[in-house]
Amino acid sequence: MNILIVDDSKAMRMIVKRSLRQVGYPDDSMQEADNGNDALTSIKAAKPDVVLCDWNMPGMSGIDLLKALKGDGIDVKFGFITSIATPEIRQEAEGSGALFVIGKPFAPEKLKEALDKVL
């Protein structure tokens, strides 16, 4: 199992990792990227099983990352963890191929539930 956590906030990446550990995922299954550009490079180099991505990031946003992956023909399970989980954001995310959108703040069980459905 390989999970890529993409967020420009180190604190949020740590929260996501802690939440994953709490629901049974080991540390060695988690990789990190602090922006969409680095995530794109990481995904192309070693396709993760799932990408957990923030929406708003400098450089390349989460939705731009997802669209770049789809444009390059890279099919990877992709979900958003974002503070702007409005109906419009959810619709755009799912219309672009995201499997789920989790609003911040979130409970570890919510993350487990979303991952259990796609893994």
Please tell me what DSSP assigns to residue 78.
Answer: E
**Mean pLDDT, the chain, whole residue set:** 96
Tokens of 117: 């459905």
Q: Is the pTM of this model over 0.85?
A: yes
Instruction: In whole angstroms, give the CA distance from residue 109 to residue 20.
Output: 9
Give the closest residue to 36 by CA, choosing from 54, 9, 13.
Answer: 54
What is the band of 102 on the pLDDT scale with cuts at 50, 70, 90?
very high
Residue 85 scores a pLDDT above 90: no
The predicted structure's pLDDT at residue 33? 98
**Tens of pLDDT, residues 34-75:** 999 999 999 999 999 999 999 999 999 999 999 999 999 999
**Mean pLDDT (whole number) for 83-96:** 94
Structural domains of the chain ordered from first start: 3-113 (3.40.50.2300)
